[in-house]
Structure 1
Amino acid sequence: MAVFTSVSLDELSQWITQFDLGRARTIRGISSGIENTNFFITTDSGEYVLTVFEKLTFEQLPFYLNLMRHLADRGILVPAPIPNRDGAIINTLHGKPASIVTKLHGDCQLSPQPVHCAAVGAMLARMHLAARDFSMQQPNLRGIAWWNENAPIVMPYLSEANKQLLTTELAFQNAFAVSDTYRELQAGPIHADLFRNNVMFDGDRLTGFFDFYFAGCDTWLFDVAVTVNDWCIDLHTGRLDIARARAMLDAYHRERPFTAAEQQGWQTMLRAGALRFWLSRLYDFHLPREAEMLTPHDPAHFERILRLRIADVPPPLFDQNG
């Protein structure tokens, strides 16, 4: 867990008076995430999540928080931002942007089965469709422009084999990004970080997606690829679990049918999803920020996944003959 900004109960008690939530009773750091400082808080009116944003700016945050509000208003199970008495959902705490959102119930499902993957796939499709009329625009800030900017920064820390892998894959993705197939891919607001620890379940019932602070406008297929690369793999080897992948893709396809262009770009986008997280983990591992509690993720995990996605033909998005 990362705690970049400490907040005591006394500090919270003074700060929270701007909200109609009653008195602050407890505050506890959340044991996940390396980008923001997150706390579970309880007040007289219930349980919430407080986030202090460490990198995102006041100018960037309206996209994320208003997207969450937009999705919640359309029945998508996501945390809803809580406004203060002046109607503001972005506030200042210790000189940094901060927000309070509703707390989802349940637990993360860290050993998913096909039934869980199907629920995630269906909700992801519904989320994409619900966000089509969201009026705000922001690019995926960890998309291809970020890859090109940061690959040279991590390159000196890599072995010769990994330098070659990163150089070759980045060139491949840059070429795909200007292709006719890429231009045909459907796009809109995406979550972009829908890992197992960003989804809540109550038993087999999905209770919500959260942590939208990597969201941006990108291809829907990239969002699916990122999700499959975490939910539908053997964590030790990185290999795809076909039963879980099939359950997720079929459930998504029933809600929002995949296109022929998406079928054509599927393996490439699985590679893109692996590259994005390999590169960000390399950056965090070799160029860490100071924090009270911070354990960077192992970059080797997504290196293995990337090599596998290059070598292995994935299951199709859908049966073109069915």
Structure 2
Amino acid sequence: MAVFTSVSLDDVRPWIAQFPLGEAVALKGIASGIENSNFFLTTQSGDVRTEHVLTIFENLGFEQLPFYLQLMRHLAGHGVLVPEPVPNHDGQLCVPLHGKPAAIVSKLEGSSQMDPQPVHCAAVGDMLARMHLAGRDFPLHQPNLRGIAWWHETAPAVLPHLPEAQVQLLRSEIHFQEAFHGSDLYKRLQQGPVHADLFRNNVMFDGERLTGFFDFYFAGCDTWLFDVAVTVNDWCIDLDTGVLDTARVRAMLDAYHAVRPFTAHEQAGWQCALRAGALRFWLSRLYDLYQPRAAEMLTPHDPTHFERILRERIATPAPRLFA
């Protein structure tokens, strides 16, 4: 999304010959996000022009990428609205470009809904439940690479930069999550492939019609409850305070529950999962702030946003998953 690797149209034209897409006629960097280099790519075959997204992966290697790309292909084949990877003439979904893994996926219609209303939240909840169910028979497994093991690995890199109040919060929350992840309750939560980053800017709408989820490159296998918590923590809050908006929360949870009913164990772990979702993004934003990487068009996100959300989830009971 940020551009770490510069690519020109002249670079892409010979490279794209291995794909059944025709000629590359336009290329434009996408100035959002902080993990990969993304470009809008326009191709022309005969009189037909088609838009795609070209991604160059900056942190993920060839050994990890089959999980993400095959998951997207699997979900698309099960009717979930996601970008579909384009294989080259040899059936490969990921091939080198400038020495780094690269892939082309279809471009979704519409635009991101940055001021969501309950109707948008309901559409996201419905599709998220369908995505979880569709992933049950996905044969590949990869852990959530930004899960608790990563939290332990990353915290020491940011703690020296924090004032004492934040140090105490980070250490105490990781300790709390260790206990939760080691509990019998946690072992009873339903698991499978999750998006793990389903923020407003990773979903497309055409008016009130949801046209797709994208950016699956934080996906992994985790609890479905964690995926719901990450989504609620972005879609259903007052951005200035982190306080949950009850109408949006209810719309999202009720729509999800109608497709894939929540369990009693998930209800018991709901507050813990909301805290886990807030911790994950507070820590990653701290890391991006204090361990920056050079990139064109890169602006790190403000970590205090998720610090506020974490403190709010600790202090205030969340609405129930279901009645």
Q: TM-score, normalised by structure 1?
A: 0.98
CA distance in 2, matches of 1:292, 1:182: 41
- Where in structure 2 are the equivalents of 1:8-27 lying within 5 Å? 8-27=8-27
Q: Which amino acid aligns with 2:18?
A: Q
Task: State the partner residue of 1:33.
Answer: 33
- Where in structure 2 are the equivalents of 1:117-128 lying within 5 Å? 117-128=121-132
Task: State the partner residue of 2:67.
Answer: 63
CA distance in 1, matches of 2:43, 2:141: 34
Give 1:294's match in structure 2, choosing from 290, 293, 298: 298
Give 1:232's match in structure 2, choosing from 213, 236, 250: 236
1:88 partner SS: coil
1:128 partner SS: helix
CA distance in 2, matches of 1:103, 1:295: 24
Task: State the partner residue of 1:131.
Answer: 135
Give 1:209's match in structure 2, choosing from 199, 210, 213: 213
1:132 partner SS: helix
CA distance in 2, matches of 1:171, 1:38: 36
- Per-residue CA distance 1:166-195 (angstroms, 9 max, x = gap): 010000000000111101100000000000
Q: Which amino acid aligns with 1:227?
A: T
- Per-residue CA distance 1:271-312 (angstroms, 9 max, x = gap): 000000000000000110011221100000000000000000
| Structure 1 unaligned blocks of 5 or more | none
Q: Which amino acid aligns with 2:21?
A: L
- Per-residue CA distance 1:2-37 (angstroms, 9 max, x = gap): 210011011111111111111111001112110000
C-alpha contact (below 8 Å) 2:32/2:297 kept by paired residues: no
Q: Which amino acid aligns with 2:86?
A: I
CA distance in 2, matches of 1:203, 1:293: 28
Q: How far has the Cα of 1:153 moved from its partner?
A: 1.2
Identity within the alignment, %: 73
2:149 partner SS: helix
Find out whether 1:254 has 2:239 as its counterpart.
no
CA distance in 2, matches of 1:215, 1:263: 23
CA distance in 2, matches of 1:2, 1:195: 16
Give 1:243's match in structure 2, choosing from 244, 247, 268: 247
Find out whether 1:152 has 2:148 as its counterpart.
no
CA distance in 2, matches of 1:30, 1:289: 17
Q: How far has the Cα of 1:196 moved from its partner?
A: 0.2
CA distance in 2, matches of 1:298, 1:33: 12
Task: State the partner residue of 2:80.
Answer: 76
CA distance in 2, matches of 1:287, 1:189: 29
Find out whether 1:284 has 2:268 as its counterpart.
no
Give 1:166's match in structure 2, choosing from 146, 166, 170: 170
Runs of 4+ in structure 1 off by over 4 angstroms are: none
C-alpha contact (below 8 Å) 2:76/2:83 kept by paired residues: yes
- Per-residue CA distance 1:33-71 (angstroms, 9 max, x = gap): 100000001001411000000000000000000000000
Task: State the partner residue of 2:2.
Answer: 2
* Alignment RMSD (CA, Å): 0.6
CA distance in 1, matches of 2:296, 2:124: 33
CA distance in 1, matches of 2:235, 2:29: 25
Query: What count of residue pairs does the alignment treat as equivalent?
Result: 319
CA distance in 2, matches of 1:270, 1:83: 37
C-alpha contact (below 8 Å) 2:31/2:297 kept by paired residues: no
Find out whether 1:303 has 2:298 as its counterpart.
no
2:192 partner SS: strand
* Greater mean deviation of Cα atoms: 102-111 or 38-47: 38-47
